[in-house]
Structure 1
Amino acid sequence: MTLFNSRVSTYQMNYFMRANVNSATVKLQEASKELGTGRHANLFKELGPRTASALQMRVTETTTHSFVTANKVLASKLETTLTATNSIRDTIGSVLEISLLNLTRPNTGAEAIQAEARAALESIVGSLNQSFNGDHLFAGIKSREAPMTRWEDVNADTGFSPQAVIDSIVGSGPPDTATAATMIADIHAVFESNYTADPNMNFEATFFGGTPLLDGSGAANARVTARLDADQELDYGVQGNDLPFREAMRGLAMLASVDVSQISDQATYQAWMQEAVDTLASASEGVLKITTDVGFQQEVVETATERLEDISIIQKLQIARLENVDVYEVSAQIASLEAQLQASYSVTARLGELSILNYLR
C-alpha cells in the first residue's frame, strides 16, 4: 500500500500568498486606471484582431477633427473678408453720393470731393491690406506681404508712388474734353496694367504687389483654395487686383488727383465727372457681387463643417464602443479585488503568527 503524504511548508504558503497579492494588486491598479480614464488599460490585449479597426477609426477621427478646425479658421477668414468688402462698398458709396450731387456742374461741396476721394483711397487700401493670422486676405497666393501701396508711398520696386503715377498723367487737370479723353484712356490703361508708356506705372507694378491676375504666358494664376474635407475643395481667394477694386481705385484716383471745382470748361467737367461716377458705380456693383460670393462661400463652409461634426460624433461613438469600458463592471471588479486582497492580507498575517513556539505554549 502506497501512502501519499502532501505537505506544504510555511515558506511555500507565504510565497503563494505573495504571488496572489501581487497579481491582485496589478489587476486592481489596471481596474482603477480604467475607471479613471474610461478606457481599457491594455487596449491591444482586449481588442485582439479588432485593434486595427480601432486604430484606423482613430486616424479617421483625427483627420475629421483637423478639417473641422481648419474650416472654422476659414470661416473666420471669410468673415473678416466680408467685413472688409462691406467697408469698401460703404466707402465707395459715400464718395459716389457726393459726386452724383455734383455730376453736371460743381455745386456745394464740390471743393471737398478731392479730399473725400483721397481719404477713401486710404480707407480702401487699408481694407485691402487686412491680414488674418499673418496672411493678407487680398494678396492672393503671395499672402505674406501687404499687397497694396498707399497713395503717397513710393513703391521700392518701381520708384513710383500711386499718386505720382496719376499725377504724371493728369498734371494740373484736363483743360479740354479731348485732353480729358486722352487722360482717361491712359489712366484706364494703368489700371488694366497695359500702360505701355512706362510699364512700371502699371497697377500690378506700383499699386499692387500680390499675385498677378495672369502669369507670364497669359493664363490665369491660381487662386487661394481650401480643402473642406477629403473630397471637397473651395476656391475662395479675393484679390486686391480684382476688377471691382481696380475700378474703385481708378474712379477715386481721378477725383483725388484733380480739384474738379477748378475745371472751368463745363463740357470737360461733365466728361471727367461722368467717367469717375460711372466707374465708381460699376465698382460698387462689382464689390456687392464679391460680397455675395463671399456670403455663399460662408454657407458652403458652414454646411461642410456641420456635416463633418455629425460624422465626428458617429466616429467617436464607434471608437467608444471599442475602447471604452463598462464603469459598473469595473467598479464591481474593483470591489471584488479589494475583498480578495483584504482576505489575502488577513491569511498572510495569521500565517505569520504560526510557529512551533506558539504551538508549545
Structure 2
Amino acid sequence: MRTTFVSTMSLWSSSKASLDKLQANLVKANKELVSGREADVGLKLGYKTGTTLSLRQDRAELDALTDSNASALLRIKSTTKALDQIRTTADKLMDALIATPMSQASVGTIGYQAKTNLDGLISALNTTAGGQFIFGGLNSQEKPLNSYAGGAPKAAVDAAFTAGPPVGFGFDQNAAGVSAITPLQMEAFLDGPFADLFKGTNWQNWSNASSENIQSRISPQEKLEASANANDEAIQKLAMAYTMVFDLGLSKLNDATRGVLVNKAFETFSGAIIGLTGMQAKLGTVQEKIEQAGERMSLQKDILDEKITHLEAVDPAEAKIRIDQLSTQLQTSYSLTAQLKNLSLINFI
C-alpha cells in the first residue's frame, strides 16, 4: 500500500492557486458591475457574438453620421446667415437706386455705396466655418473670391472698357469722352463684353471656388448637397450689378446713358436677389432634411442600444451578490493561507 505525500508546502501552494482564481473572478465581477456589460462577451454569447458586433458597428456608423451632420448644419447655418446679409445689403442699394434722383451728388454717394457693398460681398463670400471656406464648394481650402481693387477682376473690367470700338470705348472710365457714350453703345457694352466678364471662364478672374458643391451623407440611405459656392449665377449677377454702378463712369455719363446703366443695374440686382432667395430656400430644405435625419437616427440608436443591452448586459444585483461572495471567499482564503504558512513540525517537537 502507498500513501500520498502531503506537506504544508503543497497545501500552501494549492491555496495560493485558489487565491489567484478568486482575485481574477473578483476583478471580472467588478468590471461587469461598473460597465453593466459582460466582461467577456464572446464567452457568454458564443455564436451570437457576430450579432452584437454587427449591432455595434451599425451604432458606430450612426454616431459618425451624427457628427458629420453637425458639421454640415454649422456650414449651412453660416452660409444662410451670410446670404441673408448679402441679400439685405443688395436690397438696400436697389431701393436707393429707385428712390434717389440721379444728380451729380447722389451718383457719387450711390457709387461709393456700391463699391463698399462689393467689398462686403467679397468678404462675406470668403467666410469660414470649421476651418473651411463655406462658399468654396469642393475647393473649401482656398478663398472663393479675389479682391477687386488691384486684382484680376478690376484689370478685366478696365481692359473691356478701354478696348477699341465696337468691343469697348477706347478710353478709360475717367476720360472726358465718357460723357459722349450713347445709350445704344452702353447697352451693347453691358449686354456683351461686360456681361461676359461674369460668366464662363472669365469668372475665374473673380473666383477660385469649385462649381461642384460638397456632398454629405446625412443618413445610411440618403446623400445630398450640403453647401453653396461662389460660382452661382446669383453671385455673378450681384458682382456685376455692383461693378457697373461704381466702376463704369456713372458720374460722367450723360443723363440718357446713365438711365440705361441704372435700369440695367436695377434689372441685374432683381435677378440676383431672386437667385439669392432661391439659394437660401435650397439650403433651408437641406437643413430640414438633415434635422429630420438626425431625429430618425436618434431613434435608431435607441433601438440598437436596447438590442445590444439585451445581448451584453449583466444584472447589477447579481453582479453585486457575486462580488460580495467572492470577497468573503477571498478573505477566508487569505486567512487559511496565513494559518497554513505558520504550520511547522518544529512547533510540535
Output the aligned Cα RMSD. 2.5
SS in 2 for 1:147: coil
| 1:342 alignment partner in structure 2 | 331
Q: Deviations over 1:213-269 (max 9, x none)?
A: xxxxxxxxx4321111221011234221211111111111110114534333x3222
**Mapping of 1:80-95 within 5 angstroms?**
80-95=78-93
Matched, 1:109 2:115: no
- How many angstroms does 1:67 deviate by? 0.4
Structure 1 letter corresponding to 2:222 = Q
Aligned to 2:312: 323
Equivalent residue, structure 2, for 1:206: 205
Partner SS, residue 296 of structure 1? helix
Distance 1:190 1:177 in 2: 20
User: Are 1:144 and 2:141 counterparts?
Assistant: yes
> Hey, what does 1:232 align to over in structure 2?
222
Give the direction of change, closer, same or farther, for the CA distance of 1:290–1:281 in structure 2 (3 Å limit). same
Letter of the 2:204 partner, please give it: A
C-alpha change, 1:354 and 1:242, in structure 2 (3 Å) is closer
Verify the 8 A CA contact 2:75 2:129 in the aligned structure 1. Answer: yes
Deviation at residue 7 of structure 1 after TM alignment: 8.2
1:246-285 aligned within 5 A? 246-264=236-254, 266-285=255-274
SS of the aligned residue for 2:197 comes to: helix
**What CA deviation, in whole Å up to 9, does each residue of 1:166-215 have, x standing for no partner?**
6545733462212111221221222233xxxxx7xx2x231222235xxx
* 1:142 aligned counterpart, secondary structure: coil
* Cα shift at 1:344: 2.0
1:19-168 correspondence to structure 2 within 5 Å: 19-102=17-100, 105-106=102-103, 109-155=106-152, 161=155, 163-165=157-159, 167-168=161-162
Q: Greater shift after overlay, 144-153 or 133-142? A: 133-142
Q: Is the contact made by 2:72 and 2:226 (CA closer than 8 Å) also made in structure 1?
A: no
Cα separation, partners in 2 of 1:40 and 1:118, compared to 1, 3 Å: same
Which residue pairs with 1:196 in the alignment? none
Alpha-carbon distance in structure 2 between the residues aligned to 1:359 and 1:306 = 79
| Unaligned stretches of 5+ residues in structure 2 | 163-167
| TM-score normalised by length of structure 2 | 0.87
Task: Please give the secondary structure, in 2, of the residue aligned with 1:161.
Answer: helix
Relative to the length of structure 1, the TM-score reads 0.84
In structure 1, the partner of 2:294 is 305
Cα 1:149–1:241 shift into 2, 3 Å: same
Deviations 1:246-294, CA, capped at 9 Å, x for gaps: 1111111110114534333x32222111111111122112111211111
- SS where residue 213 of structure 2 aligns? coil
Structure 2 match to 1:179: 185
Give CA-to-partner distance per residue, 1:24-81, whole Å, 9 cap, x none.
1211122122223332222221221121111111111111110000001000000010
> How big is the shift at 1:5?
7.5
User: d(CA) in 2 for partners of 1:59 and 1:73?
Assistant: 22
CA distance in 2, matches of 1:289, 1:336: 70
The alpha carbon displacement at 1:301 in A equals 0.9
Question: Structure 1's 166 and 117: CA in aligned 2 closer, same or farther, altered over 3 A?
Answer: farther
Residues 149 and 162 in structure 1, CA contact (< 8 A), matched pair in contact too: no
Query: Could you say if the C-alpha distance between residues 355 and 206 of structure 1 is closer, same or farther in structure 2, counting changes exceeding 3 Å?
Result: closer
Match of 2:165 in 1: none
Are 2:202 and 1:188 equivalent residues in the alignment? Answer: no
- For the 8 Å contact 2:93–2:114, the answer to whether it is kept is yes
Structure 1 or 2: more helix by fraction: 2
- Corresponding residue SS for 1:30: helix
8 Å contact 2:8–2:344 — kept in the other structure? no
SS in 2 for 1:25: helix
1:162 and 1:207 in contact (8 A); partners too: no
For 1:152 and 1:137, locate their aligned partners in 2 and report how far apart those are by CA, in whole Å.
Answer: 23
Unaligned runs of 5+ in 1: 194-198, 213-221
Shift of 1:321: 2.5
Q: 1:291 aligns with which of 260, 274, 280?
A: 280
Residue equivalent to 2:235: 245
**Fraction of identical pairs, as percent:** 23
Please tell me the residue identity of whatever aligns with 1:292: A
For residues 83-126 of structure 1, the C-alpha deviation after alignment (integer angstroms, 9 at most, x for no partner) is 111111012112112111136x4386332011111111111111
Q: Aligned letter for 2:189? A: M
Q: Structure 1 counterpart of 2:266, which letter?
A: V
Distance 1:52 1:162 in 2: 64
